Every structure is written in structure tokens, then in C-alpha cells.
């Protein structure tokens, strides 16, 4: 958010956040995936669930953040 602005921060959090998180989880905690595989979940399924949860949590948080920034700072441009 510091370099691209509030809206780019939202997009990067919602799109790249789950992907980076799953890649790091796979690199550092690869042996824990056996637990999910034993439950019948695939890697792609876990990625989809993570994306949905991240989006459902991120929309209200960033909505409130946008309202607070607009209230205290006023309108701002993306560029």
C-alpha cells in the first residue's frame, strides 16, 4: 500500500496474498500437507478455499479502511 496506494494494496492482498502464503507453506511446512491429503483435500482445493476466506475477510476490512481514509484525509487519486 505504501508504494501503489490503497486500491492496489487491496488487489495485491486479495490476489497475491493466498498464492504467496500457499507457496511459503509448501516450502516451509511441506510435511503438514499430508494431514490435508489424508482428509481428501488437494493442493488446488486448499488454494481456492484460502482465496475465498481471504476475500471474505479482506472486503470488510478494506472497506472500513477506505471509509476511514476518505473521512480523515479526503479524496485521493490512484496516480
In a domain, 77, yes or no: no
Give the span between the Cα atoms of 69 and 63, in whole angstroms.
10
In a domain, 79, yes or no: no
Closest of 6, 23, 12 to residue 54, by C-alpha = 12
In a domain, 47, yes or no: yes
In a domain, 78, yes or no: no
In a domain, 61, yes or no: yes
Residue range(s) defining the domain that contains residue 26: 6-72
In a domain, 17, yes or no: yes
Give the span between the Cα atoms of 25 and 61, in whole angstroms.
24
In a domain, 1, yes or no: no
Give the model's pLDDT for residue 66: 78
In a domain, 16, yes or no: yes
- What total of structural domains would you count in the chain? 1
Convert the pLDDT of each residue in 14-65 to its tens digit: 778 777 887 887 788 877 777 666 777 777 887 788 778 877 887 888 888 8
Q: What is the pTM of this model?
A: 0.57
Give the span between the Cα atoms of 54 and 41, in whole angstroms.
18
Amino acid at each position: 500500500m505504501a508504494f501503489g496506494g490503497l486500491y492496489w494494496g487491496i488487489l495485491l492482498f486479495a490476489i497475491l496474498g493466498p498464492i504467496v502464503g500457499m507457496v511459503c507453506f509448501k516450502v516451509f511446512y511441506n510435511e503438514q500437507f499430508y494431514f490435508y491429503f489424508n482428509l481428501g483435500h488437494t493442493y488446488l482445493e486448499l488454494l481456492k478455499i484460502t482465496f475465498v476466506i481471504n476475500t471474505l475477510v479482506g472486503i470488510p476490512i478494506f472497506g472500513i479502511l477506505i471509509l476511514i481514509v476518505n473521512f480523515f484525509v479526503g479524496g485521493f487519486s490512484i496516480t
